[in-house]
Chains A and B, each alone.
Chain A
């Protein structure tokens, strides 16, 4: 009697597995909700305030029309989200829509996993700020198919403690030499030599190093595609950090990697433990809202020249969704590029408005006169450098340079030797 019952049990388990599998595949092929709306999955990579602002925009879009429902899902920080995106692409389960950092767009596009957007509308139909859109963000970006539309675009800027500036009677530093002098003047040490207030806190991160390479007169990747890491300029940038950290002991490299160290820098600034930090314009509203002192934003100082890279992300459509879903996703993108949405996003976060008309409207309304901190990043666009359209860019950033910067600065290894090693690593296939 027992045997048949057991067999029935096994059969029932088998049947339930089959039913579950069928249910799963059925749900993944049904992008139409019960109310007839096309469902568009959007993977995003912000926490905190920026996440709230994005979700507010998504809600507004969903309420503004009856056809498309964008479902936004948080996927960790940029790099965590990117890891998930790549895994999902390999498993053919990519979202309809997501946003990725600028450095990885050429890589994904050349790997053939991004949908060309000019299939839906020509690039010229968007009226975007050229430096922030694909055409200006990449050297030769206009001659490629349109793979990306700008979303949250930023530049690194300096944030200064207004109270400290007043106390020292100094203006924000405009050159590397002035920065060094400012950091020295603003650092306060206790009787036992421990630092109570750092003059300068800057994450040991690729983005700030790339800014300094540009300022020292170099290019991370030459226009012909050779990876030089800026040559002498790259070395000079690392040495400047080494001097501030080890010789002057006026700069604190915040602990943690990637965005952990950025958060640590923000924390030091808000707690009054740092007179000046470098970080993204993305944190402008957050820092202003949470600081108990006046926050003064300033452009990054110049060395041989003024220069900043553009950061942040661009929207992309991963391949794999059905045509109606892609059209629905594109509808959301087009809506986000309109002046009203672009400006809502920019003024509530600190990112730059990507719509040219939107930017003009803000200027005309006197917004930048009333909020001079917001104007810093926009004004810095004049000296922004475009990334090369290089599939190597992402690997140069993540594998070759980023881990070695830490080693060079924290363990004070010879800057030229470390960068030579990084250059060789970047050449590895």
Chain B
């Protein structure tokens, strides 16, 4: 197709380029530039070269933040995936009761993060909370998870899993509609049990849904902020200082725009590498599948 005017394609691209440029490229370029300065937003910035990066590495801060974020992400992705799939398979049946339970599970996803965080702060309170009361009723000693440096990250991960599992379930439910009933029935007639039917037929057909859920859950967990801000403010000690919260803390608490920008750049590079790896893995598996489908 030939444009009527050579500029037309660019005109059509312009809104997208403008949006990307203003909200993505420009902030990134500014962040890269700022990462080489020491700046508190009030006094003039001072050039410090790679000092911000060096300090993040020397104090071990970047490794601590990366490690915590990775652990949190793995927990959230793995558990929301498994629970979402299990719920989808269990609730993929007709009937009002099932519809109600599906709706109830999904409702957590619709509620705002702040409300969810406040609700769980109450649930997890060792003295007055529901979980503490249950533990006491069972004869145990309730512990305050949110004020224990060894457990706070797990508590936050549990809350996040609780919140996004409903979303994973809905994606899997949609995926289940694409699994042909006739194939499942044929396999049953051939003597395949429910477990084998799941692994041989349902799961392979659900893999695109699983990949989608894993990617979105990974992105959401890497960007976790609200839940940390409301429930723990990054503490106790540094146990729940995840990536985005660490950036926030440097800018708005420590007055260090340069340090925060350096962390942002590192974050960007890490996510870029993770995405590249994921894409490469995706391509490799789809190539392998295409090849296996070629006639021998």
Contact = CB atoms under 8 A, between A and B. Distances in A.
Contact of A255 (B41, B55, B147, B238): B147
A125 to B, nearest CB: 29
A320 interface: no
A61 interface: no
Nearest to A403: B238
A79 B236 contact: no
Interface residues of B, number: 26
A256 B147 contact: yes
A90 B42 contact: yes
Given A398-B254, A403-B235, 10 more contacts: A79-B253, A83-B252, A111-B43, A255-B144, A256-B232, A256-B233, A257-B232, A257-B235, A394-B255, A429-B38
A142 interface: no
B184 to A, nearest CB: 49
A258 B233 contact: yes
Contacts of B42: 86, 89-90, 108, 111-113
Contacts of B235: 256-257, 403, 406
Contacts of A398: 253-254
A90 B146 contact: no
Interface string A243-275: 000000000011111101000000000010100
Which residue among A192, A254, A255, A258 has the maximum number of chain B CB atoms within 10 Å of its CB? A255
Contacts of B233: 256-258, 260
Interface in B141-156: 141, 144, 146-147, 149
In this complex, which of A193, A253, A399 has the most chain B Cβ atoms within 10 angstroms of its Cβ? A399
CB-based closest 6 A-B pairs: A255-B147, A83-B252, A257-B233, A111-B42, A90-B41, A399-B254
A428 interface: yes
Given A90-B42, A256-B147, A429-B38, A407 B232 contact: no
Q: Give the interface residue-count category, chain A.
A: 20 to 34
Interface in A190-219: 192-194
B40 interface: yes
Interface in A77-99: 79, 83, 86-87, 89-90
A152 B205 CA distance: 65
Contact of B55 (A194, A256, A410, A428): A428
Contacts of B41: 86-87, 89-90
9 contacts: A86-B40, A86-B42, A111-B40, A111-B43, A112-B42, A256-B233, A257-B235, A258-B233, A406-B235
A230 B264 CA distance: 35
A306 B55 CA distance: 39
Contacts, number: 69
B54 to A, nearest CB: 11
A231 B38 CA distance: 29
Contacts of A86: 40-42, 252, 255
B234 interface: yes
Nearest to A428: B55
B237 interface: yes
A411 interface: yes
A89 B48 CA distance: 23
A395 interface: yes
Count chain A CB atoms within 10 A of each CB in B43, B147, B238 and give the residue with the most.
B147
Nearest to A254: B147
Contact of B236 (A113, A399, A406, A429): A406
A90 B254 CA distance: 16
B127 interface: yes
Given A111-B43, A395-B255, A411 B237 contact: yes
Contacts of A407: 237-238
B251 to A, nearest CB: 8
Contacts of B43: 111-112
A394 B253 CA distance: 10
A83 B236 contact: no
Contacts of A258: 233
Nearest to B257: A90
A271 B20 CA distance: 53
A194 B141 contact: yes
A86 B255 CA distance: 9
A258 B230 CA distance: 12
A112 B42 CA distance: 8
Nearest to A113: B42
